Amino acid sequence: MRTLRFRLNGDDAEIAAPDHWTLLEVLRYRAGLTGSKQGCDKGDCGACTLHVDGKSVLSCITLAADVDDREVTTIEGLVGPGGPDVVQDCFDESGCLQCGFCQPGMIMAARQLVTEDPNADRDTIKAALASNLCRCTGYTKIYEAVENACKRTLAGDTGRGGRLADLGGGGDEARAGRESA
Amino acid sequence: MLRLPAFAYSSPKSLEAVLATLAEQPGRARLIAGGTDLLPNLKHGIEEAGLVVSLKHVPGLDGVEEQSDGSLRLGAMLTLEDLANHDVVRARYPALASAAGQIAGPHHRRMGTLGGNVCLNTRCVYINQTHFWRESLGYCLKKDGSACHVVKRGKRCVAAASNDTAPVLTTLGARLVIASAARGEREIDVGDFYTQDGVFNKDLQPDEMLTHVIVPPPAKGLHSAYGKLRPRDSIDFPRLSVAVAFVLKGGAGTAADPGKVHDLHIVVSALASTPVKLRKVDELAEGRTADETLFEEIAAAAYKQCHPLTSIDGDPAYRRDMVPVYVKRALRDALASGASA
Amino acid sequence: MAGGIERKSINRTHGPDAPHGEFHRVGKRARKVDGIGKATGQAVYADDIQLPGMLHAKTLRSPHPHARIVSIDTSKAEALPGVHGVITGADMPTKYGVIPWTPDENALAVDRVRFVGDEVAAVAAVDEDTANAALRLIEVEYEVLHPYLDPKESLERHDPAIHEGNKKGNISKHVELEFGDVAAALASSAHVIEDDYAFHGTAHAPIEPHCAVAQAGHDGVLTLWSSTQIPHYVHRALAKVLDIEAHRIRVIQPHLGGAFGGKSDPFYFEFCACLLAMRTGRPVKFLLTREETFYTHRGRHPMDMHFKTGCDADGKITAVDSKILIDGGSYSSFGLVTTYYAGQLLCGPCHFPTYRFDSTRVFTNKPPCGPKRGHGSVQPRFALEIQLDRLATKVGLDPIEFRRRNFQGSNVETVNGQTVTSNGFVECLDTIETASGWKDKRGKLPRGRGIGMAGSMYISGTNYAVYPNDMPQAGIVVKLDRSGLAMVYTGTSDIGQGSSSVMATIVAEELGLRMDQVRVVAADTDLTPVDLGAYSSRITLMAGNAAVDASRKLRKQVQEAVGEHLDVPAGRVILADGWAFDAQDGDKRIPSREAFELAESKFETLAAAGSYNTPERGGDYRGGTIGASPAYSFTAHAAEVEVDFETGEIHVEKVWIAHDCGRAISPVQVEGQIEGSTYMGVAEVALEDHAVFDDPAHPEAGLHMRPSLLEYTIPTSVDTPELEAHIIESIDPEGPYGAKEAGEGPLHGSLPAVANAIYDATGVWMTKLPFTPGKVLAALRAHESGTPTGEEA
């Protein structure tokens, strides 16, 4: 058992865990951050992908002890005060989310790509996501989501609150509906 | 979730401290770099560790240094992603960059290291399984058992070398720097590093650690390439891999006059516990024109020397059929890719 | 009629039209109701549930493919500190099975284990490590029995039988049906193609491993959260096996990480989690490892298929005759249905006047097979569509033209007595022909490159409820709230296919709401009315009709109340986009929230139930309702492939798919289903192979060959062809607004379209899946050397 100290989604975290626990286990079962998923047990599927120092890694084959002093960002950590991140919003908007189980990992992989190469073409996108298995979509709409996230990023759109803005939309009817409430 | 067995963990801040730990607990202390090989193997119970020693905080092991003789000294902790994308590596040793870029998937390459890949455990369909599976089988020679299920009545483990960098490094004549507390540093040709024992196929003592890989300066006119047979274009280990390197002299660099082949090296892997250096192909090719006729002859010679086993998934007869195809394609790729810069 | 009660007709279909003249929600590209929760990690899946004091359970599994259990000693495991419960088969002796006619499973093995990985005992402990340690302390003595690993052997031999007492030996189910005089029709055919085909067996491999959490409340209520796609059948099975009154059991399906048919049986881990929770008084989580999901299986059945198809000189099909051997693995699961589906679901979109099928499912000592997306019919469809292409070649017709010529039409009865209503297959053919550039490609691409096509049909739910009853197949409750919210309570399982979004869309359409004004509670047996589950592509049509039914009752009340308020006839009140307004004067309007208040004031608390049951369908013969559906979807695929003559590798470059789903209630989701289905089908051609070592002489006999996502190679992004989905809307009289299924049909044609494209590329008919590069290479070489092989007749 050791006390792990690292940055977790922007906060200082101190979590006690046995030495042989993976980062995924510590996050899910000790920190209660269950957004990162476990699909294959050993690095074959990518559902557990999250960021250590901004880079996508497979947390089911990362020892929690190995991220001491590092910056860990999970799918939950992408959400800011204004709402979901632009990549999250684009995944939602594209309709590529089916069962959703691979998506936290897929989104973290996409998030790194969009940050590093918002001009990525489709082949680059495919290559960047090639550690993340999706069983529902045939990937097609995922590419569309990532391409849209790239486009919006280049246009300076952070995506924060995109869906809520959508919901609040509906023009004057919605406003009138809210006002009359 | 498939669990790791209990172990202790340490993360020394210096190479000396790492080596001291290995010396104190040889065999019990196991090094972890990227963890992409060790952790699945620990989860499967095919490797054991009382203490896992992390190299994450050891400085000076992830560099690419050009040495005075023109060789490149690559740190063992250099990630496969950085190796694949490194400008100098790409220019001088395109086969090495190519092999590194074809290892597993992008996240594995970001985590995994050159040292880890060079030291990758051998693989076999009968060993890379959970404890339950292996127990149901009755275990095997490589771990916990006495029978080989690949070579019936075989006494030597034939689990296959499955690392992508090893065949390329062998064709390039790379040397490995190995350190220990007791004996200091030693160097060994990568071609001599792997041994005919699938249980542990490396000339590496429990108190030793691979610290650097030294790749000699490319000869003028060096051409190299790497080819990998695998079911998917990502994630998978090789079912067959081929590295070629030769020096091209003379010629106009055209199809009609490509030049003459010298100093040909071909290494085929995912066949046996070591990468297999093809014999006599250098003699066959020396001084001959780099054309399809020659490539066909070399491919035919390769076929005769390679005998895939059922240790790796995929029909062995088919994988053997692919030896000449992949050798030929690697030779063409090497010719087409231009000389090392 | 049970107890002399006459079944009330609840086959309420509602016509294809929009409730208010034009559609406001249906057919629009909208976000899913659960999309952002999934994209942000908020969506809770079974393994995300953590309850105070929760124990963790693990399973002890059989290392033998077939053995008798001589003794089990759990005393050492029970004594291990941290262990709170150990159970074995003796604790739950009642047999069950998803099909009530074939109950041959025990939650844990009783006396006999039937495959490597069969469940023998379960342990609950403070953590997984302790549970695993306890498993190693359980001592089991086995008497090893002869393992059946070849289905042909199971046909011939049954000593010992895999299921003792089975009067049919090792045969699980046999169905033989003939419609018309097949022999005579074949004898008089101008052309007959006869060949053998094989399907190898594949797994669902959803990314989420199965997981269940059980809690035995001290109030006597047992709650199970499980990654199931059939909460209602799990509910019934728990009551039976645990011998608890059903009303004391609550089954909840949290968000589900993919299923594809693999989570549609009641499973051992669900029973074990419950019993361990009851025994220990603590919550129990049962999470499978990836390896264990391959043992749990229920994947697509391996089939050996012999097909004979005839046509006349003009290319009109005269007869189809098939004989199919199905490898069922160790238990029945849905096997009775599979055996019927292997024949019943082929009778469209092409008409054949005579038809015979003879299907036999046998038991073997392998993980049990079951329903995988396109249950039962993907394999014979593969065979049939290759047969049709070969006939077309014989007659000298283009494959698309051949199918046009044999098109069965709309509103027809098939040869096996099924009723086809809408049928957009010809539009599907036209679409893929144009989109793929078929005419410029077929027979005209360079050697090694080819294009092929296939057609298919699939059910939108089946008349055959797995247990006979006169109650609705789908029920739903809609409640309108003074806040302006419509709450939808539906028993449907959203397994990622988007059923909750479809229900929300329908209710929003009917009640004139924005999507944020509708919320869905789904798949909770305490809160939601019964729906039979996410299988047979039944939800959109069946639960969708129930949703329209419930909503229209409420709409009527709201229209009346608003009409009175605005002083216009109720029929003139339009509900749309969060408003209620006069159709003739848009300024006369009030927000929906106020409209709901008016209706609640005028009538009563606003809630309505809706129901759906199927119309009378199916042939008048034993099994005639199996595969009978209110409506059928139709699909055409065109696939372009590149074959590498040196390596035998097939690269599927692009697939064009046109799918007739009736009305596309959510076009984005329909496209997603088309793309996902086709991806999954193409993956079954060459990459995926769920197999066990089958040489009984070797120690590995019966062991799974590839029980991981490294070895069982599902395609990554870089292995997936480009997919181009086209929606064809035939507007069916039976579906809500004319909707039919989209989730399974578009898988079928993927496989034969690739096979037919390989022929176009190489001149070789590949017939035995999987098309591994080695097999393809051997067939190409045999073809070039002029040696006929099994691959090429």
Q: Mind listing the pLDDT tens digit for each residue in C326-379?
A: 999 999 999 999 999 999 999 999 999 999 999 999 999 999 999 999 999 999
Is A43 in contact with B40 (Cβ distance < 8 A)? yes
Residues B68 and B190 placed together within one structural domain of the fold: yes
pLDDT of residue C446: 98
Q: Is the distance from CB of B118 to CB of B213 less than 8 angstroms?
A: yes
Is A138 in contact with C675 (Cβ distance < 8 A)? yes
Is B147 in contact with C128 (Cβ distance < 8 A)? no
Q: What is the pLDDT of residues C563-575, one digit of tens each?
A: 999 999 999 999 9
Looking at CATH, the fold of the domain delimited by C303-464+619-784 is given as Aldehyde Oxidoreductase; domain 4 (3.30.365)
Distance from C151 to chain B by nearest Cα, in Å? 22
Q: Say which DSSP state C47 is in.
A: G
Q: What is the pLDDT of residues C499-548, one digit of tens each?
A: 999 999 999 999 999 999 999 999 999 999 999 999 999 999 999 999 99
Cα dist. B293→B264, B287, B328, B332, C766 in Å? 15, 14, 10, 12, 33
Distance from B323 to chain C by nearest Cα, in Å? 10
Q: Which residues face C486 on adjacent strands? A: C480, C518
Any domain includes B242? yes
Q: What is the pLDDT of residues B132-167, one digit of tens each?
A: 999 999 999 999 999 999 999 999 999 999 999 999
pLDDT of residue A170: 42
Average pLDDT over residues C451-464: 95
Residue C6's pLDDT band, with cuts at 50, 70 and 90, is: low
Residues B75 and B205 placed together within one structural domain of the fold: yes
Q: Which residues face C325 on adjacent strands? A: C304, C360
The dihedral through the CA atoms of C422, C425, C426, C430 has a sign that is positive
Q: Is it true that the peptide bond before C472 is cis, omega within 30 degrees of 0?
A: no
Distance from B43 to chain A by nearest Cα, in Å? 8
Average pLDDT over residues C118-131: 98
Average pLDDT over residues C311-336: 98
Every domain range in chain C assigned CATH 3.90.1170.50: 46-145+210-287
Residues B228 and B188 placed together within one structural domain of the fold: no
Residues B311 and B228 placed together within one structural domain of the fold: yes
- Any CB–CB contact under 8 A between A56 and chain B? yes
Q: Is C728 helix (H, G, I), strand (E, B) or coil?
A: strand
List the single range of A81-90, B110-119, C429-438 with lowest mean pLDDT.
A81-90
Any domain includes B302? yes
pLDDT of residue B189: 98
**Statement: residue C238 has pLDDT above 50:** yes
The dihedral through the CA atoms of A145, A147, A150, A154 has a sign that is negative
Residues B108 and B85 placed together within one structural domain of the fold: yes
Average pLDDT over residues C231-247: 98
- Any CB–CB contact under 8 A between C695 and chain B? no
Is A22 in contact with B39 (Cβ distance < 8 A)? yes
Any domain includes B259? yes
pLDDT of residue C786: 85
Residues B226 and B309 placed together within one structural domain of the fold: yes
**Statement: residue C3 has pLDDT above 60:** no
Residue B341's pLDDT band, with cuts at 50, 70 and 90, is: confident
Q: Is C67 helix (H, G, I), strand (E, B) or coil?
A: strand
Q: Say which DSSP state C718 is in.
A: G
pLDDT of residue C16: 87
Is C31 in contact with A129 (Cβ distance < 8 A)? no
pLDDT of residue C115: 98
CB-closest option in A44, A89, A138 to C676? A138
Q: Is the distance from CB of C55 to CB of C280 less than 8 angstroms?
A: yes
- Any CB–CB contact under 8 A between C719 and chain B? yes
Residues B278 and B232 placed together within one structural domain of the fold: yes
CATH architecture for the domain at A2-77: Roll (3.10)
Is B35 in contact with A127 (Cβ distance < 8 A)? no
Q: CATH assignment of C2-30+472-612?
A: 3.30.365.10
Cα dist. C143→B65, C150, C724 in Å? 63, 21, 54
Which residues of chain A fall short of a pLDDT of 70?
159-181
Is C672 in contact with A29 (Cβ distance < 8 A)? no
pLDDT of residue B135: 97
**Range of the structural domain that residue B92 is part of:** 64-120+160-215
Is C591 in contact with A173 (Cβ distance < 8 A)? yes
Is A44 in contact with C709 (Cβ distance < 8 A)? yes
d(CA B219, CA B265): 13
CA B148-B152-B154 angle, 5° bins = 60
How high is the mean pLDDT of chain C? 96
Every domain range in chain C assigned CATH 3.30.365.10: 2-30+472-612, 303-464+619-784
Average pLDDT over residues C647-657: 98
Q: What is the pLDDT of residues C687-718, one digit of tens each?
A: 999 999 999 889 999 999 999 999 999 999 99
The dihedral through the CA atoms of A128, A133, A138, A144 has a sign that is negative
Lookup: tokens for A62: 């990362």
B1, B107, B235: which to substitute to probe chain A, counting the most A Cβ within 10 Å?
B107
Q: Which residues of C touch B129 (CB under 8 A)?
A: 707
Number of domains in chain B: 3
Residue C464 neighbours by CB distance under 10 Å:
22
Residues B169 and B290 placed together within one structural domain of the fold: no
Percent of chain C past pLDDT 70, that is, above it, reads: 98
Q: Which residues of B touch C705 (CB under 8 A)?
A: 125, 313
Q: Which residues of C touch B6 (CB under 8 A)?
A: 129
Any domain includes B147? no
Residues B240 and B260 placed together within one structural domain of the fold: yes
pLDDT of residue A57: 98
Residues B171 and B237 placed together within one structural domain of the fold: no
Is A18 in contact with B6 (Cβ distance < 8 A)? yes
Is A75 in contact with C484 (Cβ distance < 8 A)? no
Strands C211-216 and C284-287: antiparallel
**CATH code, domain carrying B41:** 3.30.43.10
Average pLDDT over residues C768-785: 97
Q: Which residues of B touch C63 (CB under 8 A)?
A: 132, 135-136
Q: What is the pLDDT of residues C286-299, one digit of tens each?
A: 999 999 999 999 99
pLDDT of residue B253: 80
Distance from C686 to chain B by nearest Cα, in Å? 9
**CATH code, domain carrying B250:** 3.30.390.50
pLDDT of residue A163: 55
Extents of the domains making up chain A:
2-77, 86-166
- Any CB–CB contact under 8 A between C646 and chain B? yes
Residue B254's pLDDT band, with cuts at 50, 70 and 90, is: confident
Residue C590: what are its φ and ψ, rounded to 5°? -140, 155
Q: The domain C46-145+210-287 is classified under which CATH number: 3.40.50.2300, 3.40.50.11810, 3.90.1170.50, 1.10.287.70?
A: 3.90.1170.50
Any domain includes B31? yes
Residues B330 and B297 placed together within one structural domain of the fold: yes
CATH 3.30.200.20 fits A86-166, yes or no: no
pLDDT of residue A171: 42
Q: What is the pLDDT of residues C751-764, one digit of tens each?
A: 999 999 999 999 99
Residues B209 and B289 placed together within one structural domain of the fold: no
Q: Which residues of B touch A44 (CB under 8 A)?
A: 235
